[in-house]
Structure 1
Amino acid sequence: MVLLVQKYGGGSLTDLSKLETVAKKVKCHVDSGYRIVLVLSALQGETDRLIGLVNLLTPSCPQREYDALLATGEQAAACLMVMALSRLGVRAQTLNAWQAGIYGDGVHSRASIHRIDASRIQTCIDAEVIPVITGFQAVGDDLSVTTLGRGGSDTTAVALAAALGADECQVYVDVPGIFTADPKVDASARLIHRVPIAQMLAYANLGAKVMQKRAVACAAKYRVPLRICPTFIEGPGTVMEYENDHVIEKTLATAVAHANQQVVMQLSGLRSLQSDVTDLYELIGSYGCDIEHTLRQSHDDYHLDCVMSGDDHQLLKSQFERWLACRTHVQCRTTQNLARVSVIGFSMVKDIAMTREVVNCCRRANIQVRYLFATDNAISIIIDQAYVELGVRSLHQHFSLDKQQAVTTAHAELIPA
């Protein structure tokens, strides 16, 4: 029998009515003979509500209790789902992180999954009981609950699919799939039915909100069959491809991604790789933050440029200030209220004309490019936050992504979406 790991959350779980709709969808898959493992995130808005309660109570709280509180959102959603399935005559059972054997590195708010003991999950599957697993969380060696960061339920689902050897991991969302741009920003964006995993990884890393980038990286590492599925409409969604059919010589733009509220931090005057740079890396690593950076030497000093999200900057701000206070020789310049817009594609640095086209497009739209980064998969620009939507629309139109035919192959209907 085909084993599917299905993840629901966000816009798919806005209220009890939608939760019941999801339960009926799961029942249809069970009745069709599929074995199902469910991963749930909290009902939409619940995590933000819990964070709001914390902010009302105290500006600083113990991170262990903070994670334990946020994890209750997923626990509530999982329990409600089991009740809804039971009402439909489907046997199901909730499993939280320690019951499901999901163990992490113990870093609060940004934990990484280190290992999974799937024996209890497999017992449920063998007994024809649907395991309904709380996403977004893992347990440390001391069995304290830790959370995986925003979108962490995606990572839970992909990691479980890898551990169980699932036939497919299906991440259900409230949109038809992956688009060439955010359709809320550019209405001409097209749905992409099949996308190479390397392109999806670039898309997620550069701001696409459909799936957490760590989840895509996990899928790529373990070659997990992965599909982004629409919850409330019929459709195949977007399937990740692992073949190399699309590794071509021709430079080709395929999509535009964007990330809001970015922060650029530039450090100069770093004198020692050991006492300055390495210590800073250890500081960042201890908080589990994702920070893109470049390090270069200038005469006897080093310069470090960092790009990070506003959330990561807030998390690290006080630690950075303490680190800088001990190093009066280091100068720091921080620029906020920025956004990143990226043109994603193939062989993007093979033809320097592609970079020129991005710069010229922004110039015609009167958008100032503050920073530019080019890799084989993407050309990214950092611009003022106020111009992000104009930037996305201009680049999407300039590269004719609203007209370009998507790279697709015949779609197999073996597994339901």
Structure 2
Amino acid sequence: MFAHVDINNCYVSCETLFQPQLKGRVVVVLSNNDGCVIARSNEAKAIGLKMGDAEFMVRKVLKEHDAVIFSSNYALYADMSARLMNNLARYTYTLMVYSIDEAFMALADTQDLDLDKHAQMISENVMHDTGLAITVGLGPTFALAKLANKAAKKQGLSYLVLDTEAKVHEVTKTFPIEDVWGVGRAYYDKLREHKIETAEDFRQLKPDFVRQQMTVQGWRLHQELWGKPCNIIRDVADRSKGIESSQSFNTYQTQLEKIEEATAMHAGTVALKLRQQKSMTLMLTIYLRTNKHNVKHDQHYPSITVKVPLATNSAQEITRICVQALRAIWQPGYNYLKTGVRATGIIPAGEAQYNLFSNYENSRQTKLSGLMDEINARYGRGALRVAAEGYDKTWKMKQEYLSKQYTTNWNDIVVTR
């Protein structure tokens, strides 16, 4: 059996955990630069607010309902996510973190286990230990565990177990096909052409037909909905996807110096993520973006991919390469809104191959990066950084409604009497 666990209304739950007086009110969390709604309380959902609603378009509605608005507090959300995952690890021999607020767990020796009581116990213990309300879905495959989780939420339950064919049929016969994990817009349109409206309708299709219409991915989903596992738990990072850091500016940027600072910051973030997963990169992509929605401005979307001379995860080396690459693609006269850095060609740090004739001082770079990590771990991220990042980051994204970093900043820690 597999369990799928996620935090209910994750970002909103993290905010209300430290401000319990907000429970029962309309609460929303906004995206980068406070652009659109990315998390809603149940009360916000009840008044018709949708994911992705632009803030300026729903501003009147938010004011009418005396809504509480937060900017995205990623430091808080990431820390609470780590606490959740540490708690979940106690109940499984293999945990796969799927996103910041959800994970899959493999459950062993379930023959004599009361699955309903086990799921309830996980939910109650996580609430006790972290203060976060979660939903637990159990099933013999990833797809059924995910479906059980969504069905539990629709029914207002904290958990749901699909361990028999009768239970699976009871849920899938009314479960909308567009809500099934893995059914994107393209698959949904194709299935609707064949009058497929529920998960059960999809299950009743012949496997060969599914494979022909939806390729091997659709066939695997079909198999999983019949209780035949086609996915496996991965407890290591998927290095094939790469690592990226990007962010929109709080206003248009036309000066190369300011964009260099932002690019250097993203380069440092990518380097840190590489070191955290004990990896190195062989390829770096740097890109710039103007605002495609502003038709009054000239558009420019340059990017460049650079092959790193020697595999690295050094903040200094990656920053140097990224800043040089940025200068090659930047052009004056454009109003840039976003920059980003992406690392690909990722390999384990222990498999890096160096050139016998190169004078690259890898040991020195490793020591410097290690020292930076130690200092930042003790005094806070950014306490020590590459000078190219600058100090007065006037270009940083707008966060007018940012809450305190209750768990990661000594100045914001909750004080009790």
**Which TM-score band applies after superposition, normalised by the shorter structure?**
under 0.3
Q: TM-score, normalised by structure 2?
A: 0.26
User: Normalising to structure 1: TM-score of the pair?
Assistant: 0.26
Which structure is higher in RCO with an 8 Å CA cutoff and minimum separation 6?
2
User: Which one has the largest radius of gyration?
Assistant: 2
The structure with more helix, counted as a fraction of residues: 2
